[in-house]
Homo-oligomer: A and B are copies of this chain.
Amino acid sequence: MPRPDRRRERTQTALREALVALILERGYETTTVQDIVDRANLGRATFYLHFPNGKDELLLHIMDVAQKDILKRAHTHGLPSVPSIHAFQHAAENANLYRAILGGGGMSGIMARFQQSTAAEVLERLKLLIPVEHQANAPLEMIAAYVTGALNATLVWWLENDQPYPPEEMALRFLKMTQAAVVSLLSASTSS
């Protein structure tokens, strides 16, 4: 039975935990390598011994570990009828990490700011369009977030693929999907 020097594993775990903690306390961009190794009680050179490309590599490593975690869980239970359940459960258990990666958004928070201001506009539209008696079935804020996230991702996909359809067609597709999604949620919630 081989015993392959457990110090490396211990060191990397300490670094992972230190970075996750610091991201939550002060954000990713403003956290320095020195902060991380101070928190982990390690030397700076040791950090670069394990992650020669700096803190980005450590963050990727953290995400790798997390994704292996979620995949292991999925394989254990087989394909569920509600596929996203694992995502929500895993996010609940690693709320700090998910907030750090998805919420902070990086770019000094520019992207998060964009998402929020767009979501605010979407929310206004929803308030106008949805009859008041249905608004209690689900928080409009959640719907606004859903719609905004979908819109942004669709925009990025469209641009990254060199605008394969004219904007009018894209807007129509997006409208159809989104209308159906919103109506479905509200009516379904009613019947529950």
Residues of A within 8 A of B (CB): 28-29, 56, 59-60, 63, 67, 82-85, 87-89, 91-92, 95, 98-99, 101-108, 110-111, 113-115, 117, 125, 138-139, 141-142, 145-161, 163-164, 167-168, 170-185, 188-189
Complex CA–CA separation, A108 to B176 (angstroms): 34
B67/A117 in contact, CB under 8 A: yes
- Residues on B with beta carbons closer than 8 Å to the beta carbon of A56: 108, 110
Closest beta carbon of chain B to A91's beta carbon, Å = 5
A106/B111 in contact, CB under 8 A: yes
A158/B88 in contact, CB under 8 A: yes
- Residues on B with beta carbons closer than 8 Å to the beta carbon of A157: 141-142, 145-146
B177/A181 in contact, CB under 8 A: yes
